[in-house]
Amino acid sequence: MSRDSAQPRLYAFTVFTPTFNRADTLPRVYESLKRQTYGDFEWLVVDDGSTDSTHDLVASLQREAGFPVRLLCQEHLGKHFAFNRAVREARGELLLNLDSDDQCVPEALQRLKHHWDSIPEDERARFSSVTGLCVDQEGRLVGDKFPRDVLDSDPLEIRYRYRVRGEKWGFTRTDVLAEFPFPEVLPGQYVPEGIVWSQIARRYKTRYVNEPLRIYHVDRPSLVHGQGAGKHAAGGRLQHLSVLDDELDYFRFAPAEFCRSAVHYARFSFHTGIGLRQQWRDLKRLPARFLWAMLLPAAWLVYLGDRK
Give per-residue pLDDT as tens, 10-59: 999 999 999 999 999 999 999 999 999 999 999 999 999 999 999 999 99
CA distance 43 to 48: 16
Provide the pLDDT for residue 46: 97
pTM of the model: 0.91
pLDDT (0 to 100) of residue 226? 42
Let me know: does 1 contact 161? Beta carbons within 8 Å. no
Contact 250, 163 (CB under 8 A): no
| pLDDT exceeds 60 at position 220 | no
pLDDT (average), residues 194-206: 95
DSSP state at residue 272: T
CATH number of the structural domain 3-215: 3.90.550.10
Is residue 46 within 8 A of residue 86, CB to CB? The reply is yes
Maximum Cα–Cα distance across the chain: 60
- Please answer whether residues 151 and 119 qualify as being in contact, where contact means their C-beta atoms are separated by less than 8 angstroms: no
236-269 tens-digit pLDDT: 999 999 999 999 999 999 999 999 999 999 999 9
pLDDT at 228: 61
Task: Tell me the per-residue pLDDT of 179-190, one tens digit each, with 9 for 90 and over.
Answer: 999 988 776 677
Question: CA 158 to CA 133: how far, in whole Å?
Answer: 13
Res 188: pLDDT: 66
**Residue 1: pLDDT over 60:** no
Per-residue pLDDT, averaged over 155-171, amounts to: 97
State the average pLDDT over residues 139-157.
97
* Beta carbons of 48 and 83 less than 8 angstroms apart: no
Instruction: Write out the E strands in 174-291.
Output: 205-215
Residues 44 and 61: their CA atoms lie apart, in Å, by 12
Residue 2 confidence (pLDDT): 40
Residues 25/103, Cβ–Cβ less than 8 Å: no
What are the domain boundaries of the chain?
Answer: 3-215, 233-307
